[in-house]
Amino acid sequence: KQEVTQIPAALSVPEGENLVLNCSFTDSAIYNLQWFRQDPGKGLTSLLLIQSSQREQTSGRLNASLDKSSGRSTLYIAASQPGDSATYLCAVKESSSFQKLVFGTGTRLLVSP
Amino acid sequence: DTEVTQTPKHLVMGMTNKKSLKCEQHMGHRAMYWYKQKAKKPPELMFVYSYEKLSINESVPSRFSPECPNSSLLNLHLHALQPEDSALYLCASSPTPDRGNIQYFGAGTRLSVL
């Protein structure tokens, strides 16, 4: 059974810092990996999608990398801002179950002014 | 327009009540999903509809009954729920059920069962 873990569970940084969020998964047979942002009590906003054949994807200040063989992905946030404060979730779509997303445990990020 | 709309935003119900959650999208998507998210936990898949037909039921108790009356609308009918069913219920859609598609999520319905 696929298990997705995110470290750290919570992170507090001052504004302007560059930071890295980690995601690891136990079964490397994935089709793609997606990073989401969730504000408190709200739905999920898709940030980046990396196909299994890709190594990284970039959108603005966000950069996500994928090392499928080692079961890891990282989300790099450059020059963090208070508006980046949210919970960040990674989710994998397994090759064997093409409709199902398996979510990670999440990282709660707080960026202080 | 990448909007998935869920109503109501909040719902409080007793264990003997019958209520329904509604999810709507007008993006022409043909796959729709229900997820359940408990506090401080990741979302967990409940149901998937592909081309208006139920394709995945993740062993969800029968007190949750999904319905997809047309390609734009997804309902979740609730009956005889338990307090432990209190959670944020998220709806999502994707263009097709294919693996490569991004799922777009609604803002969720926060359900409290008393």
pLDDT at B98 (0 to 100): 80
Band (pLDDT 50/70/90 cuts) for residue B85 is very high
Q: Nearest chain B residue to A30 by CA: give it.
A: B99
pLDDT at B58 (0 to 100): 87
Per-residue pLDDT, averaged over B58-84, amounts to 95
By the 8 A CB rule, do B24 and B106 touch? no
End-to-end CA distance of chain B: 36
Band (pLDDT 50/70/90 cuts) for residue B24 is very high
By the 8 A CB rule, do B81 and B13 touch? yes
Q: Nearest chain A residue to B97 by CA: give it.
A: A99
Of A4, A43, A101, the CB nearest to B106: A43
**3-state SS assignment for residue A84:** helix
pLDDT at A8 (0 to 100): 92
Judge whether residue B61 has pLDDT over 80.
yes
Of B45, B97, B106, the CB nearest to A101: B45
Q: What percent helix, strand, coil does chain B show, rounded to 5? A: 5, 55, 40
Residues of A in contact with B98 (CB under 8 A): 98
B108 vs A89: CB contact, 8 Å cut-off? no
A46 vs B50: CB contact, 8 Å cut-off? no
Question: Which phi and psi (to 5°) does residue A83 adopt?
Answer: -70, -10
Spans of chain A below 70 pLDDT: 97-98
pLDDT at A42 (0 to 100): 83
By the 8 A CB rule, do A31 and A102 touch? no
